[in-house]
Amino acid sequence: MEESPRAVALTSRFVAGRQAEDALRVTAQLNRAGLMTTLDYLGESVTTTEEAAGARDVYLGLIEQIFHRGLQANVSLKLTQLGLEVAEAACRENVAAVARRAGELGNFVRVDMESSAHTGQTLALVQDLYSTYGNLGVVLQAYLRRTDADTQEMIRLGIRVRLCKGAYDEPASVAYRRRREVDANFHRSARRLLAEGDYPALATHDERLLREAVAFAAQRHLPKDRYEIQMLYGIRRGLQRSLAAQGHRVRVYVPFGGAWYPYFMRRLAERPANAWFVARNIWKG
Ligand code: FDA
């Protein structure tokens, strides 16, 4: 179905465009401004092995283009997009194929973390592949009660972690529901990762948490090239640039593709002001 130009315009705040070329063009622009990127081909919960293989091929194409264009970028993928809910063995093969080619070209692959229904399986699959593909990293979510233990385990295994707060609606049985608790857990895991982890990525737009983490790293005389700060495309652009200007390594998560709906809705849910922005634009007609 043909998309309306208004849908394209409306999503453009958080999504680079519908094609890989859009994300590569945005990457070149951000690189010129001193920011690195990680590219996300939007899509999750595919229902056939063909769709999963299609997503794998998009990632393989991205890795080639990043290399040939000399871009400062890597990729972020979701296991349910590569077939986790269809056939775990096929999913593993798809991720392995992407990691293998990225490794040959000196690049890195981040496995995003999805809802808690997939946390254990995602960590197990990454751990298993990591023994062959050392260029694979994972994401931990500070809202999950298990994250303290997972942080220690990833550090022990040497697997690189992106730490974020977490974007799914999780029950209190597995997740902290209060902001104060999530922030405290982020703070704790961030310090541990900075002190003992391998090149952690602190993924948040929360200035207070970032300030604390950066101060902790400075106290420990940790060079700025031993960790990175990550933010989402379209969010706190000024902060992204000012941190880069202060010499921090800043990476922007750049999503693209036609399956933008769940990602876009998660961004709206995070801030009521975003929903107002959308509503205003729809009513304008
Ligand atoms: P918080 O929500 O407290 O926001 C702090 C400030 O940031 C706000 O006051 C506001 O200024 C700004 N802000 C945050 N969200 C905004 C929005 N949507 N629109 C406008 N302003 C906003 N999650 C996950 O479950 N699995 C994953 O793999 C990833 N991967 C990931 C990669 C990267 C690079 C980032 C930055 C984030 C993720 N996330 C994620 C999403 C993450 O879990 C979380 O939902 C968002 O980052 C929002 O939380 P903050 O940490 O920014 O804090």
- Of the listed ranges 11-15, 52-56, 126-130, the one predicted with least confidence: 11-15
Give residue limits of the domains in the chain: 5-282
The Å distance, Cα 204 to ligand 1 centre, comes to 5
State whether the beta carbon of 205 lies less than 6 angstroms from ligand 1.
yes
pLDDT for 50 equals: 97
The ligand 1 atom at the shortest distance from the C-alpha of residue 232 is: 36
CATH architecture of 5-282: Alpha-Beta Barrel (3.20)
Residue in 258, 261, 282, 256 with CA at minimum distance from that of residue 37: 256
pTM of the model: 0.96
Q: How many Å apart are CA 73 and CA 58, to the nearest integer?
A: 15
The Å distance, Cα 205 to ligand 1 centre, comes to 6
Our answer to whether residue 162 is catalytic in this structure is: yes
Q: How confident is the model at residue 275 (pLDDT cuts 50, 70, 90)?
A: confident
Q: How many Å apart are CA 131 and CA 48, to the nearest integer?
A: 28
pLDDT for 276 equals: 73
The Å distance, Cα 68 to ligand 1 centre, comes to 31
State whether the beta carbon of 274 lies less than 6 angstroms from ligand 1.
yes
| Set 40, 112, 150, 183: catalytic member | 112
Q: How confident is the model at residue 285 (pLDDT cuts 50, 70, 90)?
A: very low
For residue 284, is pLDDT > 70? no
Average pLDDT value for residue range 200-229 = 98
**3-class secondary-structure state, position 194:** helix
